[in-house]
Amino acid sequence: MTASPLIALVNGRVLGDHGPREGLAVLVRGKRIVAVVAQDDPRVGDAQRHDLHGHLLLPGFIDVQVNGGGGLLFNDAPTVETLRSIAQAHRKYGTTGMLPTLITDTAEQMHAALKAVDDAIEQRVPGILGIHVEGPFLANARKGIHNAALFRHPDESDVEALIAPHRGPVMLTLAPDEVSPQVIARLSAAGVIVVAGHTAADYATTRAALDAGVCGFTHLYNAMTPLANRDPGVVGAALDDPHSWCGLIVDGHHVHPATLRVAIAAKARGKCVLVTDAMPPVGSDRPDYVLNGQTIVMRDGICQNEAGVLAGSGLDMAGAVRNTVHMLGLPLAEASRMASAYPAAWIGLDRTHGRIAAGYNADFAVMDDTLTVRETWIGGIAHTAV
> Residues 6-26: pLDDT tens digits?
999 999 999 987 789 999 999
Q: Angle, nearest 10°, between helix axes 107-122 and 80-91?
A: 70
Q: Tell me, what's the pLDDT at 16?
A: 80
- 93 or 385, greater pLDDT: 93
Is residue 124 part of an annotated ligand binding site? no
Which residues does the annotation mark as catalytic? 277
Is residue 254 part of an annotated ligand binding site? yes
How much is the pTM?
A: 0.97
Q: Tell me, what's the pLDDT at 3?
A: 80
- Give the angle 282-283-289 at the CA atoms, nearest 5°: 50
Beta bridge partners of 246: 217, 272
Mean pLDDT of the chain: 96
Is residue 222 part of an annotated ligand binding site? yes
Q: Tell me, what's the pLDDT at 19?
A: 84
Is residue 230 part of an annotated ligand binding site? yes
20 half-sphere exposure, CB direction, 13 A CA radius:
17
Pairing of strands 131-134, 95-103: parallel
Is residue 219 part of an annotated ligand binding site? yes
pLDDT in tens, 34-91: 999 999 999 999 999 999 999 999 999 999 999 999 999 999 999 999 999 999 999 9
pLDDT in tens, 167-209: 999 999 999 999 999 999 999 999 999 999 999 999 999 999 9
Range of lowest pLDDT (17-21, 42-46, 92-96, 365-369):
17-21
Rounded Cα–Cα distance for residues 184 and 206 (Å)? 11
| The CATH number, out of the four listed (1.10.1740.10, 1.10.290.10, 3.30.1280.10, 2.30.40.10), of the domain defined by the range 6-58+356-384 | 2.30.40.10
Which band of pLDDT confidence, cut at 50, 70 and 90, is reported for residue 385?
low
Is residue 312 part of an annotated ligand binding site? yes
The class (CATH top level) of 60-346 is alpha beta
Does pLDDT of 293 surpass 90? no
60-346: same fold as 6-58+356-384? no
316: Cβ contacts below 8 Å, ≥ 6 apart: 90, 93, 95, 276, 278, 282, 283
Torsion 221-226-229-230 (CA) sign: negative
Does pLDDT of 1 surpass 90? no
Euclidean distance between the first and the last CA atom of the chain, given in angstroms as a whole number: 34
Is residue 361 part of an annotated ligand binding site? no
Range of lowest pLDDT (1-5, 42-46, 126-130):
1-5
pLDDT in tens, 301-346: 889 998 889 889 999 999 999 999 999 999 999 999 999 999 999 9
Domain spans of the chain?
6-58+356-384, 60-346
178 within 8 A of 153, measured Cβ to Cβ: yes
